[in-house]
Structure 1
Amino acid sequence: MSEVALVHRAHHVAGAIYGTILATTVVAAAGHEPETIDQAAILVLGTSVVFWLAHVYSLGLAARVVARRPLRRDEMVSLAIAEWPMLQSSWPILLALMLGVTGIVPRATAVDLAMAVGIGALFTYGFVIGRQEKLSWPKVLLNMAISGAFGLAILALKVFVH
């Protein structure tokens, strides 16, 4: 795999991990009151979109500096697609919140579920990456622990602050 392809694919995965951390953090900050789950869902969606756009914009500016010219439309679309996993990774967390907004599950349960989805996704990233690398099970578990620690840190902050 070329260095460019490696960086491009790594960027996709990094964006998904970062988007998951971001959405989980927003739930932790905004979802502590079940009555405001509607606002928490809007904040998760809005924050995810704003951060996605900010990443596309900053990559576009950086690409213009590197290329020393304005970018073509297809190049900007390519940058937006490259950042898509950051936005897409918030959808399972948003779906969990929407279960509470629509009354399918109790609102408090939906907030807890959204946190669990975010934290679980982080552990899962560590697992999948470790298994893909054919690491030994102790190393897979360590990989999961490190990745999941970000979610647990968010949960600890939520408990500490609220």
Structure 2
Amino acid sequence: MDASELDIVDRPAASARGWRVPLLAFARNPAGSIYGTVVADSVLAVESERQTKLSDLIYAELITVIVYWFAHVYADFLGSPPSGSRRASLHRLAVTLGHEWSLVTASFFPLAAVLLAAAAGASIQTAALAGMWTGVAALVLWGQLAGRRAGRGAVVSFAYGMTAGLFGLALILLRVLLH
């Protein structure tokens, strides 16, 4: 079966999922999304107390997440078996870059919450906390998506989501204890 046939086969299933289809397209790699959200929340936990300007906080988060993305892709690339040719290696690298891009896009959810809270007049610290709580909610969602993609049932997927959410709660607790 070629790619066009797969697309036709997948369309009815995709429409049956309704609202989840755009979300699944946005987070094709829930594991990467979990990692990206944890990195983003970690930056918010640490940098929100150090930064006095919103733009500095945003730059710190984006640059850190992108560096982690590159490092993750590089580590994956180094750990994979060598390809037969340079072209095959570059193709594998490009595929890995695309697959792991969810590490970056997942950070946009906490970042959007930071921007919305700041636009509503919140301080940098309060806006960062809003971003971190959004990160907790996103982690729950990514965990549930990971469970579903692994073929788990609703209860196990819910447990995956709650476990992923605990990572975000741990970061909030760490922020409270450190500041």
1:27-71 per-residue CA deviation (whole Å, 9 max, x = no partner) reads: 0111136734332211110001101111222222233x4436544
**Structure 1 residue 113, shift from structure 2 partner:** 1.3
| Offset of residue 129 of structure 1 | 4.6
Of 121-130 and 41-50, the range deviating more from structure 2:
121-130
Q: 1:115 aligns with which of 132, 148, 163?
A: 132
**TM-score between the two structures when normalised by the length of structure 1:** 0.76
Unaligned runs of 5+ residues in structure 1 are: 1-10
Q: In the alignment, is the contact (CA less than 8 A) between 1:119 and 1:151 conserved in 2?
A: yes
Query: Which of the pair is proportionally richer in helix?
Result: 1
Q: Is the 8 A contact 1:20 1:121 kept in 2?
A: yes
Q: Partner residue of 1:133? A: 152
CA deviation after TM superposition for structure 1 residue 94, in Å: 1.7
Partner of 1:25: 42
Alignment of 1:76 with 2:90, yes or no, is: no
How many residues get paired? Answer: 148
Match of 2:7? none
Contact 1:28/1:155, CA 8 A, preserved across alignment = yes
Corresponding residue number in structure 2 for 1:147: 164
State which drifts further: 65-74 or 39-48.
65-74
* Structure 2 unaligned spans of 5+: 1-27
The verdict on how the C-alpha distance between 1:68 and 1:128 changes in structure 2, with shifts beyond 3 A counting, is closer
Distance 1:74 1:140 in 2: 33
Q: 1:91 aligns with which of 100, 108, 124?
A: 108
RMSD of equivalent CA atoms: 2.6
Identity of aligned residues (%): 28
Q: Given the alignment, which residue of 49, 67, 87 partners 2:83? A: 67
